[in-house]
């Protein structure tokens, strides 16, 4: 799925983004990844995995 959104970081200029995600991604998943990957964010630069990804139920066995 492809989503178009605008990232707003005051006082910085807004940025238009196109995000491609799988159908199971939540808004929280996308927000978490955007926050973790933001080069303008202050503090330690470490990659984070989506906390909600581990809470997703496994698909039923076929």
Q: Is the model's pLDDT at 2 over the cut of 60? A: yes
Which of 28, 33, 29 has the alpha carbon at shortest distance from 47?
33
pTM of the model: 0.55
Which of 52, 53, 47 has the alpha carbon at shortest distance from 34?
47
**pLDDT confidence of residue 53:** 47
**pLDDT confidence of residue 35:** 86
Asked if residue 14 lies in contact with residue 5, where contact means CB atoms within 8 angstroms, the answer is no
For the segment 3-62, what is each residue's pLDDT rounded down to a tens digit? 999 988 888 888 899 999 998 999 999 989 888 888 777 655 555 554 444 455 555 665
């Amino acid at each position: 799925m492809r989503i178009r959104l605008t990232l707003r970081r005051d006082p910085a200029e807004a940025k238009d983004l196109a995000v491609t995600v799988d159908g199971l991604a939540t808004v929280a998943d996308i927000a978490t990844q955007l926050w973790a990957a933001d080069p303008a964010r202050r503090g330690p630069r470490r990659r984070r995995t989506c906390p909600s990804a581990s809470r997703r139920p496994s698909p039923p066995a076929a």
